[in-house]
Structure formats: structure tokens, C-alpha cells
Amino acid sequence: MAKYCPMCSKGRLERGSKLVTSTYRGHSITYEQSGEWCDICGEGLLTGVDVLSTQAQLLAWRAQIDNAQEND
């Protein structure tokens, strides 16, 4: 049974992955994020496992930006 989207109440959530872009201090990164994504509005619900799957990559990227700005 498909879950309905809590954001738009029209779409259905489907398990999968999607390219997501995050911006930090004027820098952007696009990465693949797993989760449950609405087929209408595109919003997603992430579990703890979904967040942990990309957390190390994003923390390393932010640290790289922070270190570069400290050295300027």
C-alpha cells in the first residue's frame, strides 16, 4: 500500500534515490540521496539510514570548504 505525501497530500511516496543539490557558504554539491519521494511535488522523507548514507560525504565537503576559507 502506497503512502500519501504529507507535504502536498496528492502524491504517493515511492522508495528510491534522487539527485539533490545542497548549498553551503556559496558552494553547491549534487549527490544521490535515497529516501521516499513524492511522485507529484518531489518532496522526500528520509529515514535515519537515508541520512547516514550521505552524512560522511557532506561533512567532508563542508570541512573542505571551511578549511579553504580559513586559509584565504
pLDDT digits (tens, 9 = 90+) for 17-69: 999 999 999 999 999 999 999 999 999 999 999 999 999 999 999 999 999 98
pLDDT of residue 1: 57
Indicate the burial class of 1 (C-beta count within 10 angstroms; 0-12, 13-18, 19 or more): exposed
pLDDT of residue 71: 81
- Indicate the pTM of the whole model: 0.82
Which structural domains are found in the chain, ordered by start?
3-70 (3.10.20.860)
